[in-house]
Each structure stands twice: as C-alpha cells, then as structure tokens.
Amino acid sequence: MGKSSVDDLVEAGSEYHAGFVTDVESETLPPGLDESVVHFISARKDEPQWLTDWRLEAFAKWRKMREPNWAHVHYPPIDFQAISYYSAPKSQTDGPRSLDEVDPELLRTYEKLGIPLHEQAALAGVVPDPAAVGTPEGTNIAVDVVFDSVSIATTFKETLAQAGVIFCPISEAVHSHPDLVQKYLGSVIPQQDNYYAALNSAVFSDGSFVYIPKGVRCPMELSTYFRINERNTGQFERTLIIADEGSHVSYLEGCTAPMRDENQLHAAVVELVALGDAEIKYSTVQNWYPGDENGKGGIYNFVTKRGLCAGPRAKISWTQVETGSAITWKYPSVVLRGDESVGEFYSVALTNNRQQADTGTKMIHMGKNTKSTIVSKGISAGGSENCYRGLVRISPTAQNARNFTQCDSLLIGDQCGAHTFPYIENKNNSATVEHEASTSKVSDDQLFVCQQRGIETEQAVSMIVNGFCKDVFRELPMEFAVEAGKLLEVSLEGAVG
C-alpha cells in the first residue's frame, strides 16, 4: 500500500540541512599532537603560566590513559595524530573582536543555521534597545558563537554587565577574571576524569564562561552556538558556568557542522557550579553532522558534562535534544553535594540511518534529602543504535535521597535497536529509587489513523514522535522547543521516505 506502512518508510537517507561549508580564510595548525602543540595553543591565547602548566599536566596524564571502550558504540580507531588541534578564522586574529567586524560570510552562516533573527541583528552589530532587554517573554538571548576553535562574537555584553553577569569567551575570562577561572576550572571534572576530558584539558581552544553574582537572576537566556567548519579539525571547547549563591541562569547550546566525508572529533568539557540556592538550567540542541545514510562521515561527539550542586538547595537541570553526530558518547551528570539539592536530566536522543548514541546521565547523591529526576526518550529509526546508560548513586551520607527515572524508547521500523542500561548503587537504606521503562513502536495503525484523517505520512510520524518527546520539550525554553520539534522532523526525513 505504497508509502503507508512503517516498513516501507524506513529506507532512504535523511538530508542534513546544516551541512554547508563556510568559505572563510582561516589559520589552521597542521595535524599532530605533542607538547609543542599545547604550548602553541597556550601562547596563541597569551595565557598565564599557571594555565600553560595546567594544560601540560593534563597532556602528560592523557598520554598515560587509554581510550574507553565500554560504550555500546563501534568505530575504527581514531588517529589522534591526524587531527589538527587549532583552527581560527583569520580575520579575527588581530584587533578587537567587535561585532561589526564579523566577517559577512559568518553572518550568512548564522542565517543558514537558523539563529533567530533578533540575534542575527545583534551579531551584525545592531545595538539592542535596552528597554526591550529582559522582557517577560524572554525574547532576547545573548549569544556567544564559537566557530571552529575560536569564540567570535558575544552579544548583549553591556546589558549583562549592568546586571553584573559575566558572559564571555573563556579565553577572555582567563585574562579578565583569572581568579574565578583558576578556582573553578577542573573543579568539577578533574583533568584525568576520563580520556577525552584529559585531552580537552590539554588542548581546549575556546568556549564560554559565565558567572552570575550572588542573588542575581540573569536577565536573559544565554546561548552558545558551536560550529565546526574546517576540515580535519577537532573541536575541544570548554564551558564553565558558575552560579553564585541564590542566583539563576538559563543557558542554551546549539551545535552544527558541515557535511564531510571523514569523521571529525568533538571532545568538549562543560562544568557547572551551582552554589547554595542557585539554579542552572542548561539546554542543548545538538545537530552535529550525523554522516550519510551509509555511515560515512559525521562527528564523533565525545563530551563530558557535569554539574556540581555545591551548596544547599542548589539545582541543576540538563535538558538535551540530540539528533546529530555519527557517534554520541555523553552523560551529563549532577553531583548533589549540597543538602536538599536537586538534579534533573531530560533527554531526547534521536538516531537514524547508521548513527550510534550511547547517552544518559549520572546522578551522584551525597547530601541529605537530595532529589533527582531522569526522563530519557530515545528514538531509533533506520539502522541506528540508541542506548541509554544511567547511573544513580546514593552515597552513605545521602539520607532520604530520592530518584525517579523514566526511560522510554520508540522504534521506527525494525532495523534499529534500543538498549537501556540503568545502574543503581544504593548505599543508604533511607533512599527511594524508582525506575520505569518502556519500549514502543510507531505502529502501522497509528500512522493509518493519522492518514485516515487526511494527515500526510511525514507529518504523521513527526507528530507521533513529538508527542513521545513532550515531557522533555516542555522543559526547553519556548523558542528552543519549537526549534527542537522542527529538528526532529528534519532528522526523520529519511525515515519517512
């Protein structure tokens, strides 16, 4: 019956909409990694000695470590000597990084990326109307754009400064706020935490730095767009967000990359620190190039993200919508050290064609009355493999800790796989740990019901998938929720013929 049955739908490849290459002149280091590369990066950024030393220390540790192989993903060995560890658009290497100096090519890039128009205006140097900033609708978003290795533009800096909020490239924060950077860098994710974190610590290029002072509610959403452009480069960005006591911030991260035949490595580190009564909401829409329908090319996304609820009643929530990357290996985690602190993880991971995702979270309960919630929605289509891996650890000190985990998988077609690995380590009898899991399929019947009411196949699948993800989309800031819905639609294009 033509296109109407699910089996028939799971055939052709999907099209990647962010797969353009931007033609900008760039300065790229030749492939290879040794101490001199670490020195070069550090020198290029004019870093203080302590940071150079810190990088070298990480590099020494990395050299002694082995690549992890426990994840449910398969790929040929990565040649770390074949990757270039630094690439920067040339026009940005001299002079001040003012907005009007942004290469027009790059602005066109943002347009193609679908960065909301008001942000483009800001990126293009249009001065925002201060009265419009921080409106209740939250229509203003401050953006930091990281293009290959370099942060090229940060918007709304002045408005944020008035509130005392620091939002700038981490390379800049090293100079402007060295005490904060030195105190917190590596404090949540130590250099030797894992192989990729060690690598990142040695060669990280740039990324965003955020500090929200005591009692301040950040007046707007903060956002970073990451873009890998150059061939053969890895991207190793590093993000550090510190919410001081009683403060509040919502941070959005978006990622895209061009279509390349070869695989590219992305090994980022994101550290969040929420002090007492502070709240950090971190949302990601990740759409790195997933490779073609045969699994050629695409980004290896090996990322370490962790937040520390350092003080009482601190709260950290991770919300992620992951549709991209050839391979995803990522477990945004929360260490609940403060009493009554709260950790949340809401995730949608969609895989299609040959994509592989091994993602989940870790909730480490240490404080009393700590509470964590995990809602994971995995969608597999084509011949992809989607795996949830989660750890809930209740330490002996975590009196009355509570966790609720819900893990749902949705299969589209019968060539794909969904796997769930929930690990629970409970060392305290007073804890409550609940786990619910389900696996369902987009059924022929559901599709037929939609079609019988006049809804075309592709829209029907996207509606059903969006319905499945509702619990997670609800957690995203409005504008992002719409974007995320559209992204799922685009990513499923292949799956619906």
Partner 1 sequence: MKLLDVSNLHASVETDDGPQPILKGLNLTVKAGEVHAIMGPNGSGKSTLANILSGRPGYTVDGGEVMLGNNNLLNLEPFERAQMGIFLAFQYPVEIPGVSNMEFLKASIDSLARARGEEQPNTANFMRTVRELAGSLDLDPAFLKRGVNEGFSGGEKKRNEIMQLLLLNPKLALLDETDSGLDIDALKVVADGVNRYRNQSNGVVLITHYQRLLDYIVPDYVHVLSNGLIIESGDKSLALELEAKGYAWLT
Binding site for partner 1 (CB under 8 A): 1-5, 440, 443-446, 448-457, 459, 463-464, 466-471
CB-CB contact of 199 with 61 (8 Å)? no
Q: Smallest distance, Å, CB 409 to partner 1?
A: 13
Q: Smallest distance, Å, CB 474 to partner 1?
A: 11
Query: In this complex, which beta carbon is closest to partner 1, that of residue 5 or of residue 400?
Result: 5
| CA nearest neighbour of 307 among 327, 287, 286, 331 | 331
Q: Smallest distance, Å, CB 60 to partner 1?
A: 50
Query: In this complex, which beta carbon is closest to partner 1, that of residue 7 or of residue 53?
Result: 7
Neighbours of 74 (CB within 10 A): 9
DSSP reduced 3-state for 435: strand
CB-CB contact of 14 with 491 (8 Å)? yes
Q: Smallest distance, Å, CB 467 to partner 1?
A: 3
Enumerate the H helices of 398-443 as residue ranges: none
CA distance 121 to 213: 28
Query: In this complex, which beta carbon is closest to partner 1, that of residue 52 or of residue 451?
Result: 451
Q: Smallest distance, Å, CB 114 to partner 1?
A: 23
Exposure string (b/e) for 223-251, b if CB count within 10 Å is 16 or more? bbbbbbbbeebbbbbbbbbbbbbbbbbbb
Query: In this complex, which beta carbon is closest to partner 1, that of residue 5 or of residue 406?
Result: 5
The pair of structure tokens assigned to 377 is 């929605």
Q: Smallest distance, Å, CB 466 to partner 1?
A: 7
CA distance 343 to 282: 11
| CA nearest neighbour of 295 among 75, 77, 490, 21 | 75
Query: In this complex, which beta carbon is closest to partner 1, that of residue 142 or of residue 464?
Result: 464
Q: Smallest distance, Å, CB 379 to partner 1?
A: 12
E-strand spans in 166-314?
A: 166-169, 208-212, 221-227, 238-243, 248-256, 263-266, 269-274, 279-287, 298-309
Q: Smallest distance, Å, CB 297 to partner 1?
A: 33
Q: Smallest distance, Å, CB 392 to partner 1?
A: 25
Q: Smallest distance, Å, CB 148 to partner 1?
A: 38
E-strand spans in 25-112?
A: 26-28, 87-89
| CA nearest neighbour of 9 among 354, 377, 485, 456 | 456
Distances (CA, A) of 141 to 60, 152, 273, 339, 358: 39, 16, 21, 32, 31
Helix (H) or strand (E) holding 418: strand 417-426
Query: In this complex, which beta carbon is closest to partner 1, that of residue 99 or of residue 490?
Result: 490
Q: Smallest distance, Å, CB 2 to partner 1?
A: 6
CA distance 360 to 147: 27
Query: In this complex, which beta carbon is closest to partner 1, that of residue 430 or of residue 440?
Result: 440
Query: In this complex, which beta carbon is closest to partner 1, that of residue 392 or of residue 442?
Result: 442
Query: In this complex, which beta carbon is closest to partner 1, that of residue 7 or of residue 158?
Result: 7
Neighbours of 36 (CB within 10 A): 10
Distances (CA, A) of 465 to 122, 444, 450, 452: 34, 14, 13, 18
Query: In this complex, which beta carbon is closest to partner 1, that of residue 135 or of residue 440?
Result: 440
Query: In this complex, which beta carbon is closest to partner 1, that of residue 294 or of residue 459?
Result: 459
| CA nearest neighbour of 372 among 397, 342, 394 | 342
